[in-house]
């Protein structure tokens, strides 16, 4: 008697199951490989976060300042002037600051901004005690430099912000100096400097807040001598030099963009206009 041929759908089912088993084996095999690749990075990041000394201001995520760190170590007194410039994150609009324009409101903008605040407030409530922030890995930028607002930055959150937006994980906490301690005022979110306005708007609506970035920095010539002799009325984020040609003519080093995009938020303000004030 001739053997009956299995229907086509049965053969398809067998092949599909075989393929799925092979795919599952492949995925299971990849898990330990991916873990082995990721482990050194995670370990290194954790070690930097918990064991490294507090980073300098120039270490702020998004800033290409490796050479500048060497300069500041070689000429600490002259570098204090530069550090004071960098520490003032609330500069007025000018050639060294780029800000997004306020858009006309779109449906849902106010609700989205409200949801950000609803996640932020309870997340940072514990950090009204600034010691808790330090214990949790936030690092103070320029603690010895008088500032209007002190930024306590969390490098894990800064790294996270390069990929996703988590309203409960601000890159920095904003404090003002009160006696020998600090009083929590607000927070700062960051976004990759490659982002366009559409991507920034997806994080915090541009009809509610103005994102900003620091641009057109001319840094003094290389070496301690360059930093010591620098005229800080010309160089730095408050300097008069704001074009690449002028910077080259002065023998400086040009940085078109030095930080990531930033937006400040003051969730404890009672005036809505001040909550997302620059």
Give the pLDDT confidence of 76-113 residue by residue, as tens digits. 545 555 555 555 545 555 788 888 999 999 999 999 99
* Mean of the per-residue pLDDT values of the chain: 76
**Residue 167 near residue 195 (C-beta atoms within 8 A):** no
* C-alpha to C-alpha distance for 68 and 147, rounded to whole angstroms: 21
User: Residue ranges of the domains in the chain?
Assistant: 8-52, 58-275
Nearest to 207 by CA among 110, 77, 74, 90: 110
Nearest to 71 by CA among 224, 228, 252: 224
pLDDT of residue 44: 42
Angle, alpha carbons 28-33-35 (nearest 5°): 100
Local confidence band at 190 (pLDDT 50, 70, 90 cut-offs): very high
Phi–psi pair at 241, nearest 5 degrees: -75, 120
pLDDT of residue 148: 85
* C-alpha to C-alpha distance for 155 and 125, rounded to whole angstroms: 19
**Side-chain half-sphere exposure of 47, counting CA atoms within 13 A:** 6
Question: Token match 């410039």: residue?
Answer: 85
Helices H / strands E in the chain, number of each? 10, 8
pLDDT digits (tens, 9 = 90+) for 228-264: 778 888 988 888 999 999 999 999 999 988 888 999 9
CA distances from 105 to 37, 108, 135, 254 (A): 45, 8, 40, 37
**Side-chain half-sphere exposure of 68, counting CA atoms within 13 A:** 25
pTM, full prediction: 0.68
pLDDT of residue 150: 92
DSSP state, residue 58: G
**Residue 257 near residue 213 (C-beta atoms within 8 A):** yes
């Amino acid at each position: 008697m001739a053997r009956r041929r299995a229907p086509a759908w049965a053969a398809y089912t067998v092949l599909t199951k075989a393929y799925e088993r092979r795919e599952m084996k492949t995925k299971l095999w990849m898990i330990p490989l991916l873990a082995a690749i990721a482990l050194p990075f995670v370990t290194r990041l954790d070690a930097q976060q918990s064991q490294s000394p507090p980073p300098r201001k120039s270490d702020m995520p998004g800033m290409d300042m490796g050479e500048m760190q060497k300069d500041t170590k070689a000429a600490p007194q002259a570098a204090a002037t530069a550090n004071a410039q960098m520490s003032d994150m609330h500069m007025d609009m000018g050639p060294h600051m780029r800000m997004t324009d306020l858009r006309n409101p779109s449906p849902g903008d106010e609700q989205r901004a409200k949801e950000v605040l609803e996640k932020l407030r309870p997340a940072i409530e514990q950090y009204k005690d600034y010691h808790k922030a330090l214990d949790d890995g936030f690092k103070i930028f320029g603690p010895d430099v008088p500032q209007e607002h002190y930024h306590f930055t969390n490098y894990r959150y800064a790294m996270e912000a390069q990929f996703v937006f988590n309203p409960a994980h601000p890159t920095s906490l904003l404090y003002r100096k009160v006696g020998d301690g600090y009083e929590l005022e607000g927070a700062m979110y960051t976004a990759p400097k490659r982002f366009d306005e559409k991507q920034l708007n997806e994080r915090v609506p541009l009809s509610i807040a103005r994102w900003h970035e620091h641009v057109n920095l001319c840094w003094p010539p290389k070496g301690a001598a360059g930093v010591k002799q620098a005229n800080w009325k010309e160089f730095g984020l408050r300097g008069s030099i704001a074009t690449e040609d002028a910077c080259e003519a002065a023998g400086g080093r040009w940085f078109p963009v030095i930080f990531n995009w930033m937006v400040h938020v003051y969730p404890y303000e009672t005036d809505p206009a001040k909550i997302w004030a620059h």
